[in-house]
Chain A
Amino acid sequence: MAPPASKRSGYSRRAQFSSFLSHTAGVVGVVIGLVLIVISAVNPSSFQSLRAIAADATDPAAEATAKGRSFGDNVLNSVTGFFKMGSRHAKLEKELAIAKSRLVEAEAIEAENARLKDMLKLTRTRKDVVAVATLTASTPSSTRRFATLGVGRNKGLEKGMPVRSARGLIGRVLEVGQTSARVLLITDTESLVPIRRTKDGVAGFAQGQGDGTLRVRLVNLGINPLKKGDVIVSSGAGGLYRPGTPMAVLTEILRDGAIARVISNPTDADYVLVERAWAPEAPPVEAPAEKP
C-alpha cells in the first residue's frame, strides 16, 4: 500500500510541524530505549518493581491459562493417540531400537528416583517447603530463561529461594511481587549452580546455555572423568541450592566438561515446590539453619 498523501507535507506549516514532531518522537523513542538499556545493563535488577506489577496484573489470566495448559496437553495426547493407532505399529518397532540406549538412561533415572523419594520424604518432615505453586508464564521468545510463579509475597516467598519440581531443580526466585514471582531457570545463561556427580562426587559448575541444556565445567582440571549418561545433582556449595537435588543427565562429553540435558523440564511440571534457601553454615544436613 502506498504511504498516505499527508506524508508529503507541502507548504502547510501545520502539516510540516506535525510531520517533524512525529519524526522527532520516533527518534526520542530510540534515545529512551538506549537510556533504558544502559540502566538495565548497569543494574539488571532495576525496573523489577515495574515487572512485578505487570506480572501481578496479568497473574489471574496467566493462572487460568496454566490450568488449561495441562488439561489441553492431556486432551491433545488422547486425541492424537486415537488418530495415530494405525501408524503406532511402525513407531513401536522404531522405538524398540531406541529402547536399548534408553535402558541405560533409565537405570540412571531409576537410581535417581530412589534418591528423590527419600529426599521428598525428608523435605516433608523438615517442613522446608515454603509454597507449592504452578509456573504460569515464561519468556518463550527471548534468549533469557525466566518463568513466572503464581505465588508471591502473599505466600512468604523471598528472593533467592530455590524452586524445584518433583523430578529435579528448576531454578531460583529472582524477583518477588505480591501475587507472583519471577524465577531464573537453571537453563538461563546467568544461572550458575555448583554440582557434583552422583556416583563419586566429582565437583563442578553447571551454567545454562539458554537452549535447555547446561554446560558443565569441572573444578579440577586434568583428565575429564565424566561419562555420557552420568547424573549430576546440586552440591550445595556456597549455599542457596539444597545439596543432592537432581539436575541433569550428561549427553555430550567435551574436553573440559560436558553438555547436560535438564532432567526436570519445567513444561512438564504441573506443580513446583519453593524451598527455603539452604544455608551453608549448617554442619549436618539434618539441622539446617532456618535463615533464608
Chain B
Amino acid sequence: MLEGPTTRRDDGPRPKINRAPSPILAQVVPWLSVVLATIVPTWFVIASAPMFPPFGFLTFLAWRQLRPGLLPLWAGLPLGLVDDLFSGQPFGSAVLLWSLAAIAIDNLEERFPWRNFATEWLVATSLITLYILGSYLLSNLVAANAPIHVVVPQLVISIFAYPLIGRLVAALDRLRLTAVRISR
C-alpha cells in the first residue's frame, strides 16, 4: 500500500511527511483482535443456548484469508489456547481445530493461488461448518450428548456473520498500516 509509484493520484493517499506505519501496530493488531474477539463477546450475554458465532475463530479465519502469512501457521496454538480458556469447550479443542484450519487454508492457497469471491466464500463457509460440527463433537466427547439441532442456529448466524467480520478485519488491516507520527 505504501510501496510503488506515487506519481499518479489514484494510487492511494500520498505519504505524508514524518508519518510512517508503526511496526508494533502492524504486528500487534491481528493477534490482539483475535484475542479480543474471543474474550469480549462472552461478557455480553448469559446465554442459555449456543447463540453467538465463534467470533475468535471467524476473526482468525478472516485474517488468514485476507493476509495469508501474516499470522504464522502455528498461530492456532497460542490463540487457540486463549480461546480454550474462555470458550467452555474441552481444553485443547480450539488448539486442535484452529491449527487444522490454518493448515487447510495453507494447502488450499497452494492449490488455488488465484481465488475469486466464490472460492473464498466456499472455503470459509465449509471451514466454519466443519469447525462448528467439530466443536460440537469434541464437547460431546467430554460431556453428555447434546442434540445436533442445538448448533443449527449458530451455524446459520456464523455463515452470515462471516462477511461482516471480514469487513471488520479489512478495516483493522487499514488501521494496522496507518501512518503514525514518527517520534525522534
Contact = CB atoms under 8 A, between A and B. Distances in A.
Interface of A: 1-4, 6-7, 22-23, 25-30, 32-41, 44, 46-47, 50-51, 54-55, 58, 61-62, 65-66, 69, 135-148, 185, 187-190, 207, 209-212, 262, 265-267, 269
21 contacts: A22-B72, A22-B73, A29-B98, A30-B99, A32-B92, A33-B77, A33-B95, A33-B97, A41-B90, A47-B91, A65-B44, A69-B43, A135-B46, A138-B46, A139-B47, A140-B45, A141-B53, A141-B87, A144-B139, A188-B143, A210-B50
SS class, residues of chain A in contact with chain B: mixed
Contacts of A147: 46
B49 A23 contact: no
B54 interface: yes
B33 interface: no
Interface string B141-175: 11111110111001000000000000000000000
A139 B92 contact: no
A244 B96 CA distance: 43
A208 to B, nearest CB: 8
B146 A210 contact: yes
B123 interface: no
Given A4-B68, A66-B43, A138-B46, A29 B88 contact: no
A113 to B, nearest CB: 21
A207 B154 contact: no
Contacts of A144: 88-89, 139, 143
Contacts of A41: 90, 141-142
A104 to B, nearest CB: 23
B69 interface: yes
Contacts of A61: 43
B113 A33 contact: no
Contacts of B135: 142-143
B90 A29 contact: no
B79 to A, nearest CB: 10
Contacts of B138: 37
A63 B39 CA distance: 13
B80 interface: yes
A209 B140 CA distance: 11
Contact of B147 (A7, A27, A142, A209): A209
B144 A26 contact: no
Interface of B: 39, 41-55, 66-69, 72-74, 76-77, 80, 84-100, 102-103, 106, 109-110, 113-114, 135-136, 138-147, 149-151, 154
A33 B68 contact: no
Nearest to B145: A189
B67 A1 contact: yes
Contacts of B52: 140-141
Contacts of A46: 91
Given A7-B110, A26-B99, A144-B143, A37 B69 contact: no
Nearest to B65: A1
Nearest to B54: A141
Given A25-B74, A141-B55, A187-B48, 16 more contacts: A7-B110, A29-B98, A33-B93, A37-B141, A55-B86, A137-B43, A141-B87, A142-B88, A143-B136, A143-B139, A143-B146, A144-B88, A144-B143, A145-B88, A189-B146, A209-B150
B110 A62 contact: no
Contacts of B151: 143
B93 A37 contact: yes
Contacts of A28: 74, 77
Ranked 10 nearest A-B pairs via Cβ = A36-B92, A33-B96, A139-B88, A29-B99, A25-B74, A33-B95, A212-B48, A26-B73, A140-B47, A210-B146
Given A3-B110, A33-B99, A40-B90, A142 B53 contact: no
Contacts of A27: 99, 103
A191 B106 CA distance: 40
Contact of A58 (B39, B74, B76): B39
B50 A2 contact: no
